[in-house]
Amino acid sequence: MPTQPFMAYENEIDSLQIDTLSVENRLDRISLYGSLELTKDRQGLEAALKLKRIIDASIDALKRDKNLPDRIEIKVSESVENPF
């Protein structure tokens, strides 16, 4: 089990997989999608701990942010002429 800390909201790089649950680290969000079975066995425990590590890191980062907005702002995409 990887022990390096999950740097929540710090980069646009990290992508990891717990079962078929995908986790992507981004500057404005942590994306979790797919599905995950926390089976009542050692694998289930390992998966639950991995998920906890990500959730804990996310909560810590959110609590640390003194200027947390009510809602994030998305950069509006521009409209350009289709070059093709």
41, 63, 71, 83: which one binds other proteins (CB under 8 A): 83
**Which CB atom, from 17 or from 39, has the smaller least distance to other proteins?**
17
Distances (CA, A) of 33 to 15, 18, 30, 66, 80: 11, 10, 10, 28, 31
Token pair in block for residue 37: 């079975």
> For residues 18-77, which are near other proteins according to CB under 8 A?
20, 22, 24, 26-28, 31, 33-35, 72-75, 77
Does residue 1 belong to the site contacting other proteins (CB under 8 A)? no
**Interacting residues of 50 by C-beta distance below 8 A, sequence separation 6+:** 1, 16, 18
Which residues contribute to the site for other proteins (CB under 8 A)?
Answer: 2, 11-17, 20, 22, 24, 26-28, 31, 33-35, 72-75, 77-84
